[in-house]
């Protein structure tokens, strides 16, 4: 009734949070808790999903999503016209007239986004306080558009004060981050001991990969030997060489051994199939220093994530521990 009376999903979320109504994820045991220990409240997306869910009409909807392929765990949302919907499957919680009115109200408030912005730090920079990604807010002026960063937690439900805006000028932050990364790369190249460490690390990774392959071969042979033992147990049992309880005990033990070996092989093969980590760190660093214009590809090859705090302190986490070695001295900087 809140939606039918004209309340937006954002307003409904605020009301539900103020009345301490438990969010669905908490009921399912999957509640999201912020770093400071405070549980998240209702947000507009959760409310909107509930308002659009035909389950509350007493209908059942199947085929809402499907896997991209059998090798991947990722799923894609299917269009409504491709779903299988069966009506009157259980007692409805809302009448169809109210449901349709609410859908029309949601549709009238939904605008199509005609422009998305691609930027260098997109997906890399996040809020230090809550961990959410930062998004862009354009501020239009007569002659140009200035972009500011904003915390997504704050943006999703401003009135609840779950986080702060983290409003920062994108251009200044980007320039500052690139300068810090470039300085760290120059520092890396100037210090011979880091170059030696890099080579040592590279050789260690190569040796580790070689050891993984050897271990897989050894374990596969152990599995074959275990299978032979199991076959022999069956032969001896058939010949009446031991009692049923002895057979069960020895058979169960060998099966446990085989299962452990199989799991170990599976784990090692996952490691083996991972992307080759023998990256030439020196080349990446040199390319970053010498490149006139930094590309996103170059940036994501070096940086794992960037945190920005409410006080505008920036923390850069590199993908290589060698580059993080001096983090106590110069990891955290503040944007001027």
Domain boundaries, the chain: 9-109, 117-336
Query: What residues have CB less than 8 Å from 188, skipping those under 6 apart?
Result: 194, 195, 285, 322, 323
State residue 327's pLDDT score: 45
State residue 6's pLDDT score: 79
- DSSP string of 67-113? ESSTT---EEEPPGGGSEEE-SSS--SS-HHHHHHHHHHHHHH----
Rounded mean pLDDT of the chain?
77
Q: How far apart are CA 302 and CA 318, in angstroms?
A: 6
SS3 category, 334: strand
**How far is residue 294 CA from its own chain's centroid?**
25
State residue 278's pLDDT score: 46
State residue 178's pLDDT score: 92
Does residue 196 have a pLDDT over 70? no
State residue 246's pLDDT score: 80
Structure tokens at 225: 């030997």
Structure tokens at 7: 């309340």
Q: How far apart are CA 286 and CA 195, in angstroms?
A: 12
Residue 56: closest CA among 30, 90, 10, 28: 90
Burial class (CB in 10 A: 0-12, 13-18, 19+), 77: exposed
Structure tokens at 142: 């007569």
Average pLDDT over residues 193-220: 66
Measuring CA to CA, how many Å separate 242 from each of 69, 118, 192, 200, 254? 49, 72, 68, 56, 16
Q: DSSP character for 23?
A: P
Return the sign of the alpha-carbon dihedral for residues 232, 237, 243, 246.
positive
Query: What residues have CB less than 8 Å from 300, skipping those under 6 apart?
Result: 124
- Lowest mean per-residue pLDDT among 71-75, 169-173, 205-209, 273-277: 273-277
Structure tokens at 124: 């890399």
Average pLDDT over residues 306-316: 89
Residue 56: closest CA among 95, 20, 85, 27: 95
Confidence band of 172 (pLDDT split at 50, 70, 90): very high
Q: How far apart are CA 183 and CA 316, in angstroms?
A: 12
State residue 275's pLDDT score: 43
State residue 185's pLDDT score: 87
Structure tokens at 89: 């499957």
Q: Tokens 């505008």 identify what position?
A: 312
Q: Tokens 């059998």 identify what position?
A: 70
Confidence band of 62 (pLDDT split at 50, 70, 90): confident
CB atoms within 10 A of CB 173: 21
Q: Given its phi and psi angles, is residue 311 left (phi above 0), alpha (psi -120 to 50 degrees) or beta? A: alpha
Q: How far apart are CA 224 and CA 58, in angstroms?
A: 55
State residue 33's pLDDT score: 54
Confidence band of 69 (pLDDT split at 50, 70, 90): low
Query: What residues have CB less than 8 Å from 280, skipping those under 6 apart?
Result: 202
Does residue 332 have a pLDDT over 50? no
Percent of the chain beyond pLDDT 90? 6
- Lowest mean per-residue pLDDT among 7-16, 161-170, 243-252, 279-288: 279-288
């Amino acid at each position: 009734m809140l939606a039918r009376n004209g309340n937006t999903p954002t307003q409904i979320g605020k009301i539900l949070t103020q009345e301490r109504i438990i969010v669905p994820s908490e009921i399912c045991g999957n509640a999201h808790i912020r770093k400071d220990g405070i549980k998240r409240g209702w947000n507009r997306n959760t409310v909107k999903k509930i308002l659009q869910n035909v389950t509350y009409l007493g209908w059942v909807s199947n085929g809402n999503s499907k896997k991209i392929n059998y090798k991947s765990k990722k799923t894609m949302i299917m269009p409504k016209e491709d779903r299988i919907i069966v009506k009157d499957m259980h007692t409805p919680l809302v009448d169809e007239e109210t449901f349709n009115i609410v859908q029309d109200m949601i549709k009238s408030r939904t605008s199509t986004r005609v422009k998305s912005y691609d930027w260098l730090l997109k997906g890399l920079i996040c809020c230090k306080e809550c961990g959410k990604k930062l998004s862009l807010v354009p501020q239009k002026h007569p002659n140009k558009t200035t972009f500011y960063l904003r915390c997504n937690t704050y943006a999703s439900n401003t009135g609840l004060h779950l986080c702060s805006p983290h409003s920062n000028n994108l251009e200044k932050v980007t320039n500052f981050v690139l300068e810090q990364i470039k300085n760290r790369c120059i520092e890396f190249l100037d210090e011979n001991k880091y170059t030696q460490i890099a080579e040592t690390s590279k050789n260690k990774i190569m040796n580790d990969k070689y050891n993984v392959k050897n271990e897989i071969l050894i374990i596969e042979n152990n599995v074959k030997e275990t299978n032979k033992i199991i076959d022999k147990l069956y032969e001896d049992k058939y010949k009446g060489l031991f009692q049923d309880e002895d057979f069960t005990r020895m058979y169960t033990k060998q099966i446990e051994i085989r299962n452990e070996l199989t799991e170990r092989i599976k784990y090692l093969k996952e490691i083996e199939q991972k992307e080759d980590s023998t990256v030439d760190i020196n080349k990446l660093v040199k390319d970053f220093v010498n490149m006139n214009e930094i590309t996103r590809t170059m940036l994501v090859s070096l940086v794992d994530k960037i945190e920005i705090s409410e006080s505008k302190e920036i923390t850069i986490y590199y993908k290589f521990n060698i580059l993080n070695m001096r983090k106590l001295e110069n990891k955290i900087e503040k944007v001027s």
